[in-house]
Amino acid sequence: MRRWIATLTVLFFALAPCWAHFGSPDVYFQGLAGPYHLAVTIRTPAMIPGVAFVEIRSSDPGVSSISVVPLYIVGAGSKYPPPPDPLAQSKEDPQFFSGKIWLMESGSWQVRVQANGAQGAGEVAIPVPAAARNTLPMQKSLGLLLFALMTLLFLAIVSILGAARREGTLEPGQDPEPNQKRRGRWVMAGTVVIVLGILFFGNMWWNSEARAKALAMIYKTPPLNVSLEAGGKMVLRMGDSSWHSNRPETVMTKLIPDHGHLMHLFLIRVPQMDRFYHLHPELVPGSPNTFSVDLPHVPIGHYQLYADIVRESGFPDTMVAEIDLPDIPGVPLTGDNSDASAPPLTVYESALRASAPVTEKGDVEVLPDGSRMVWERGPIPLSANHFVWLRFRLEDSQGKPANDVEPYMGMAGHAEIIRTDRSVFAHIHPNGSVAMAALELAQKNSAASAHGNGSATMDMQMPTDKISPEVSFPYGFPKPGNYRMFVQIKRAGRVETGVFDALVTQ
């Protein structure tokens, strides 16, 4: 029993971090359900089947009821939604609703949110990747109880067989002879050996079955092999993942573009986190799982890589790798590729050490062209597992709101959030932590889109001319610690990246 629990615990720590938005599994979203603006948090279960907790806040009063229904984004499961589950409206805060839903199988799900109120009905579909991230350990009290019962059963079997051999042929009231006692002891000893053997080999079988079940059920990203070729070309080869190939209908393996690119690659020099690159490798012709990109100027160092992709079902993956790079002269940045420099972290802690505060850089980042990016963080400290609006403002060199902000890959901005021990990585947008390609699929297949009254798709379509210099991101930090955020806004044809440090408490 203890070996089984230990095995599953090892699997948990080995595999739990491997998740889309590495280490950040909960879904955060903001958008329109008809006339109602909603901020949504969906806390996904660690095990499938499992219960997901849903929290929704309406920005404006007037919403009288909200119901939710989970179903797949694609396939037959997307066409026959079950009856919706109503959320409970808070008595203290009538704009806040909460409840729970069951996610029965791993795959690319959507949660359709149906809101009703004074302005009629509205609906929005939110993509939710569901997968088992770890096995649940047995409760210590239950384990102790089962161990005590097993010990009692073991002693009972030994005692019963020993007594049967020692006294089974005696008349009532007759005492056993010395040779009968001796034979009884031999039977008890043999029973101990046999029962211990059964327990030993049974435990081996159980562990083997548990490992096989865990490997089949627990989510794994494809392995990513990274190499550097002559001339500064980086080659990324995606390996096979049985977890994906075993779910051809609900996960799929074919890739689809997200923001116009099949892969978003992020390079961060570690442990300093003082160099950052957001690149877009291209698929190598004739090699469906191989990507390549010509690197810009990259200084020597050890680099952490995060590679974002989206499946045809809308299921996202974030693959992780590391590589040591020499000083690379590189090629000029083109298209949507961007880079940034930042002061090195003053403190770096590994995942195996207690967290130590990182000296915060402040709320204002002066950009290379003299303009400024301001984090409007407010006085409330950041805490883990709480919905928060990350608000930023871009100003020109005179401190006035920038009037030449443009969409960056169809969005008002992008933000990459990394815990300093690299156990958390999230690539988020103004709509939230969901992949935009998955959100488009969910809206396309939702009943709201079919009837023409859904507006989340419209909310995603950014204008092609100048836009507001202010951008906000809904998010929730998954655990306490020190984080570095890279916030990207495009201005006058150039991507500006502000770098901010944050301390998140329990």
- How many helices (H) and strands (E) in the chain? 7, 28
Whole-number CA gyration radius for the chain:
28
Q: pLDDT class for 447, splitting at 50, 70, 90?
A: low
Q: pLDDT class for 221, splitting at 50, 70, 90?
A: confident
Mean pLDDT of 458-469: 59
Q: pLDDT class for 362, splitting at 50, 70, 90?
A: low
Sign of CA dihedral 259, 466, 27, 108: negative
**Residues 394-440: pLDDT tens digits?**
999 898 999 999 999 999 999 999 999 999 999 999 999 999 999 99
- Give the residue from 210, 221, 214 showing the smallest Cα distance to 12: 214
DSSP per-residue string spanning 355-412: --PPPP--SEEE-TTS-EEEE---SSPEETT--EEEEEEEE-TTSSBPS-EE-BTTBS
Question: Torsion angle of alpha carbons 212, 216, 218, 221, nearest 10°?
Answer: 120
pLDDT for the residue numbered 360: 47
Other C-beta atoms lying within 10 Å of the C-beta of residue 428: 22
- Give the residue from 23, 29, 43, 42 showing the smallest Cα distance to 418: 23
Outline where 247-353 has alpha helix (H): none
Question: Residues in the chain, how many?
Answer: 506
pLDDT for the residue numbered 466: 64
Element (H, E) at 254: none
What is the CATH number assigned to the segment(s) 17-130? 2.60.40.10
Separation CA 487–CA 495 (nearest Å):
10
Mean pLDDT of 35-53: 95
Model confidence, pTM: 0.83
**Residues 160-202: pLDDT tens digits?**
999 998 888 888 888 888 888 898 899 999 999 999 999 999 9
